[in-house]
Structure 1
Amino acid sequence: MIVGYARVSTEEQNLDLQVAALRAQGCQRIYTDQGISGSCRDRPGLDEALAQLAPGAKLVVWKLDRLGRSVPHLITLLDDLARRGVRFHSVTEHIDTSCSGGRLLFHFLSALAEYERSLISERTRAGMAAAKARGAALGRPRRLSAEQAVTALQMVDARHMALPEVAHQLGVHRRTVERALSRLRREEGGRLPLFLPTAVGV
């Protein structure tokens, strides 16, 4: 079976050009998504098309960008099709995995996606190493201990300090202080004030 898939990003765009091209390729069933961006994960038409593909079937699209959200996502989809014994054909780019030239181009795209992933990983590690060298704290902001939470409450209640100032004194983010004081309030059964002083405009 030859299955076609077409997609346009807005309701105003027309699917006719893609559908006509897919019919010219002999597609027996055509599934569509209209008004759905390529970056959207939820694409009912694509899900239906993929569900129809048995070993030996072929999936046809008008262009590669109609199928994948990104190069890595596209490669993941094509890898899955290959494992299932499903062929793939992109009309505009002349990619057909049922022939040697199409398979070669597919492997090139796979290598390109792997290279992109390696670059991202390398940049992430380099950025973390540079931040560590500068003495920056990595990961989520640390939580306040019970003693620090009580201290924060005293700063706010007795000394009328604003939350940003309290956070600065304790070396944490303002929201960390807010969460700690909220926990204290819950533990005290609501006896602590609900609204705590904060700086104007913060």
Structure 2
Amino acid sequence: MNNILGYARVSTEGQNLEAQFDALKAAGVGRVFSEKISGSKRDRPELDKMIEQLRRGDVVTVTKYDRLSRSLQDLLAIVEEIRARGAGFRSLAEDIDTTTSSGRLIFHVFASISQFERERISERTREGLAAARKAGRIGGRPPALSRQQRDEVRRLRDEEGRRIAEIARLFDVSPNTVRRA
């Protein structure tokens, strides 16, 4: 008897797996392996456990293929590992089912488009940051201490011999901020 196994994943502790569980159960999934971990990390114990338990004819089902992985290379490697065990892969949102030849083709096309879009977002972000720097804007948090405050920090340390912890309390900053000043 073939099993339909599900994999559900969210990236952070604050996110909820319930919607994925509901969709997987509605698709006939018998057992769901789930975890709260970034999809960019390859060390995912529940995913590894599920793959180890696969038998010929089983089908791994996810709600969206990005639940399985965030990078095209990793996604293709995972789906190939599933295929090598004689199992299939199914993604509900993209209506992909690699147990068929057309499903395998669609899977590769969708995965490539997704990777392309992630790369474009990254390129646009880098371009935006470069344009902002060129215009004199610097990203990140503003400095905790103004130039005058940094000068005063140095004076308190060098001329008055005050301890770093005391100066940090005076300016309501961390001791590391005082050391950097």
TM-score in terms of structure 1 length: 0.52
Tell me if 1:96 matches 2:91.
no
**Which residue matches 1:10?**
12
CA distance in 2, matches of 1:65, 1:42: 16
CA distance in 2, matches of 1:46, 1:104: 24
1:1-202 alignment runs, 5 A limit = 1-34=3-36, 36-108=37-109, 112=112
Q: Is the 8 A contact 1:62 1:92 kept in 2?
A: yes
Q: Which amino acid aligns with 1:58?
A: V
Q: Is the 8 A contact 1:38 1:67 kept in 2?
A: yes
**Larger radius of gyration between Structure 1 and Structure 2:** 1
CA distance in 1, matches of 2:43, 2:96: 25
Q: Which runs of 4+ in 1 moved over 4 A?
A: none
TM-score in terms of structure 2 length: 0.57
Higher RCO structure, 1 or 2 (CA under 8 Å, sep 6+)? 2
Q: Is the 8 A contact 1:75 1:109 kept in 2?
A: no
Tell me the secondary structure at the aligned position of residue 61 of structure 2: strand
Tell me the secondary structure at the aligned position of residue 7 of structure 2: strand
Report sequence identity in percent: 47
Number of matched residues?
A: 114
Report the Cα offset of residue 45 of structure 1.
1.4
Gaps of 5+ in 2: 117-179
CA distance in 1, matches of 2:17, 2:110: 27
**Which residue matches 1:121?**
none
Report the Cα offset of residue 107 of structure 1.
4.4
Q: Which amino acid aligns with 1:32?
A: S
Report the Cα offset of residue 74 of structure 1.
0.4
- Alignment root-mean-square deviation, CA: 2.2
Report the Cα offset of residue 76 of structure 1.
1.0
CA distance in 2, matches of 1:101, 1:77: 19
Q: Which amino acid aligns with 1:93?
A: E
Structure 1 residues 91-114: Cα deviation after superposition (integer angstroms, max 9, x where no partner): 10110112333122134468x49x
Q: Which amino acid aligns with 1:101?
A: S
